[in-house]
Amino acid sequence: MTKTVKNTRQDHRDDMSRITASRDGWGFAWQLAKREMSGSLGRFRVFLGALLLGVAAIGTVGSVAESMRSGINDNARILLGGDIEISSLHTAPSPDIIEAASNFGTVSEVVQMRAMLQAGDRRKLVELKAVDSNWPLVGTAATAPSMPLAAALDQTGIVADDALLRSLGLKPGDRARLGNLDVEVRAALTIEPDRSISFVSFGPRVLISDKTLAATGLQQPGSFITYRYRLLLDNPDDRDAAMATLNQLTEPTHARVREVAKAAPGFDRFINQAEIFLVLVGLTALLIGGLGVAGAVRAWLASRMPVIATLKCLGAPSILIFRIYLLQIFVVAACGVAAGLAVAAIAPLFAIHILSSYVTVPLAKTIYPVPLMIAAGFGLGTAFLFAVWPLAKAEEVRAGDLFRSLIEMPDGWPKPRYLLMMIIAAIGLTGLAYLATHNLGITASFIGGSLAALLLLSVLGNLLVRLLRLAPLPRFVPARLALSNITRPGSPVRSVIIAFGLGLSVLVAVSVSESNLGRQIDNRVAEDAPAWFFIDIQPRQIDMFEQLARSIDGISQITKTPMLRGRVSKINDIPTAAITPPEGSAWILRGDRALTWSATAPKGSEIVAGDWWPSDYNGPPLVSMSKDAADDFGLTIGDTVSINVLGREITATIANLREVDWQSFQINFVFVLNPGVLDAAPHSWIATTHADNDAAADAVERAVTSSFSNISAVSVKEAVATAQRVIGLLGGAVRLTALVTLIAGIAVLAGTVASSESQRLADSVILKVLGATRLSIGLAWFLEYAFLGLLTAIAAAFIGSLASWALVDGFLGAEFILDGWLVFGTTLAGAVATAVLGLAGAMKTLGRKPAPLLREL
């Protein structure tokens, strides 16, 4: 026996000598991870779903935006209509500018304005575009029936949008009235290469020749006419020289020059803003999905506790445990991310199909790797961020607990190195968010806001549970079981309230805000809105116009004001190019602004600083400015604003500030000057008419447009419909956020239900042994999720209403009315969804027979 022992020791020493090194590296961790992982992917459904949703959303948005941007870039010359464009309002740029341009290549003239097209007794406001024989310099226009453009526009020919022709009952060969001229419809316009990309338009397109425009008599002094001269360079290398020459020539005038890089500045801005918004939607999904990831990882690790403890008993160091499970999490995350990327690669094809009616350039059906890589980074980063905590706690599991079958996930904070990893991951994700949105302010405030909302939901959840604990338990057994399940330590109530509550809060906020805005527009339309805005009224026509309008029965109120447009060129002598405008008032510097003059303060406006000038004031130019705009630019009484009007720069001193109610349907201006400054410039008048009834409204429009062929009538009803449509689009986009966050919330709810499945199974078996029927157990569970839904609904109603109030009252400055029924309805739907989904998930354990399970317990 002694010999045997000695031999064995010798063997042992020999064996030990063959040990090369302790194997706790990544390679060995991977071997063990692979062995353990097989067949476990199905346990990560929630994890996979949450990552798929977030990655797909971010990847799709990025790909679609990239596709539109490259569509615009690739077709910039077509969109611009040439290499360089010189444009001006009211009057054409001076001939020397056009002549200078023509030295560099071919120039084409396009004139755009609004006008009324009349067919029989039907009239429509249209966007008129008059072109010369060189148009289009780039791209090709097409008509149906197909014919050469020159032939279509020859004599008094017009081509127009098919929808317009149908609405006026016109077909090729029919005649219509445009200004003073009878025109002949030749064809429908099917392709207009330089059509601007926009979601909102005031009227359908009518294309005519420049000669026809001249014959219509519509080009009146002061009318709102845009002149565009497109230059196609003979030699592309001349671009810089041409830009330098034209910039120098136009600088002191009212004309402006732009090149292909800014072919669609408005739409570019729209794409960027939409992308930011939609990326943030994806981030919300990932944020909520992250809770699902953490829950799923925790549940997975909880089920692996005996294995982890066993490995530790067998000598596995902590870091090996961390690596084994981190690798498994990464493999699962990679599957979720890959699935999300697959969706993101395919989805743009459908999105492009939908967008093609708005975007007039061809969009390439290709895969854009950068947005997909960013989306993948988001997915893996989120999975890592939310998995580290449970992973770090798993490595701390006490191996000794194996002896007592009491293995539980340890509580408390993870070790500092893991907290550091989480901080690095969070910084990395913020960096990625910045890469995706290019806007640190919005990204930071979004993430901050989301975290604040999550914190608030968490606090509310805790508060509600504490209150429930204080309440006496009901005598009805299922209700008692339900309540005790919610209030017990470790109940899923907080994660459900956070995850589901965030989506529901957004839904409440959107519904309440939209209802508030919609109601206010409706109320304003009913109370204040005029029936028509009449534009391009010539000074010589204004008295006749007023006389005519007043002669019609039912016209209760007519307001009129002179108007022309000018560009803000300097503020306090600083050129606007050197000013970074505040976000809310950037539009004031972006384009030409409407200007007017008045001897007295405009009706309904409130002077909040300074005084209105005397009615006979005849000194240096003074301006009255809207207070909001002045505040945004930091301007006050005595500061100066320089405005370029038709090439002449007028510098006016701010004499007073007005509170302007932009939501009223009054004619409002940012800038009102004193009389005597602009009166002599070519200008037109704008007027509104209020009608007591629809018949009077129709009568005034008919009378005015048939008496004055150059005056266009803009229907307030249609403008409001357009505004409502835009609000609807915005509401739809925000509702999409709510939907995505709700789906992510459902994933988390499903995960919570799944992770408590074994506990629920054990409970149901014990309850059945004690004599509970399936009905009473099912009822208890239903009540549990109903209570949970109710708590979530209360939290969401509070936070959603608060957010809506902040938006409507604080941000938009409108009156906030809390629609209790709407909040109740929305949150009730959420509560019912929570109860039904939770119960549906839990029910599958109810059908299991107790006997086989009892043997395992």
Q: Which residues bind other proteins (CB under 8 A)?
A: 1, 4-6, 8-9, 11-12, 15-16, 18-24, 28, 31-32, 35-40, 306-307, 309-320, 398-400, 402-405
Helices (H), 18-157: 26-37, 45-74, 76-80, 95-102, 149-153
List all residues 6 or more positions away from 509 whose beta carbon is below 8 Å from its beta carbon: 799, 800, 801, 803, 804, 807
Report the alpha-carbon distance of residue 305 to residue 398 in Å, rounded: 9
Tokens 């932009």, located at residue? 662
Inter-axis angle of helices 416-437 and 440-470, nearest 10: 130
Structure tokens at 822: 């709407």
C-alpha to C-alpha distances, 719 to 115, 376, 732, nearest whole angstrom: 16, 43, 19
Residues 60 and 347 sit within 8 Å (Cβ to Cβ) = yes
Report the alpha-carbon distance of residue 647 to residue 681 in Å, rounded: 11
Is the CB of 311 or the CB of 588 nearer to other proteins? Answer: 311
Question: How would DSSP label each residue in 120-149?
Answer: TTEEEEEEEEEE-TT--SSS--EEES---H
Closest approach, Cβ 486 to other proteins, in A, equals 22
Is the CB of 9 or the CB of 844 nearer to other proteins? Answer: 9
Closest approach, Cβ 342 to other proteins, in A, equals 28
Closest approach, Cβ 318 to other proteins, in A, equals 6
206 backbone dihedrals φ, ψ, rounded to 5°: -125, 125
In the chain, what's the furthest Cα-to-Cα distance?
Answer: 129
Is the CB of 314 or the CB of 770 nearer to other proteins? Answer: 314
Is the CB of 307 or the CB of 817 nearer to other proteins? Answer: 307
Is the CB of 395 or the CB of 514 nearer to other proteins? Answer: 395
Structure tokens at 422: 């989480």
Is the CB of 3 or the CB of 475 nearer to other proteins? Answer: 3
Residues 433 and 447 sit within 8 Å (Cβ to Cβ) = yes
Closest approach, Cβ 752 to other proteins, in A, equals 25
Closest approach, Cβ 316 to other proteins, in A, equals 6
Closest approach, Cβ 41 to other proteins, in A, equals 13
Is the CB of 37 or the CB of 465 nearer to other proteins? Answer: 37
Is the CB of 6 or the CB of 438 nearer to other proteins? Answer: 6
Inter-axis angle of helices 716-755 and 493-527, nearest 10: 170
C-alpha to C-alpha distances, 143 to 81, 473, 614, nearest whole angstrom: 18, 77, 57
Is the CB of 317 or the CB of 778 nearer to other proteins? Answer: 317
C-alpha to C-alpha distances, 300 to 189, 295, 752, 843, nearest whole angstrom: 62, 8, 12, 21
Closest approach, Cβ 27 to other proteins, in A, equals 11
Closest approach, Cβ 38 to other proteins, in A, equals 7
Residues 508 and 644 sit within 8 Å (Cβ to Cβ) = no
| Residue 766 CA from chain centroid, whole number | 51
Residues in the chain: 857
Is the CB of 313 or the CB of 721 nearer to other proteins? Answer: 313
Closest approach, Cβ 28 to other proteins, in A, equals 7
Q: Look up residue 18 and give its DSSP letter.
A: T
Closest approach, Cβ 806 to other proteins, in A, equals 44
Is the CB of 327 or the CB of 711 nearer to other proteins? Answer: 327
Report the alpha-carbon distance of residue 20 to residue 273 in Å, rounded: 59
Closest approach, Cβ 368 to other proteins, in A, equals 40
Query: Closest by alpha carbon to 128, among 183, 194, 204, 214?
Result: 204
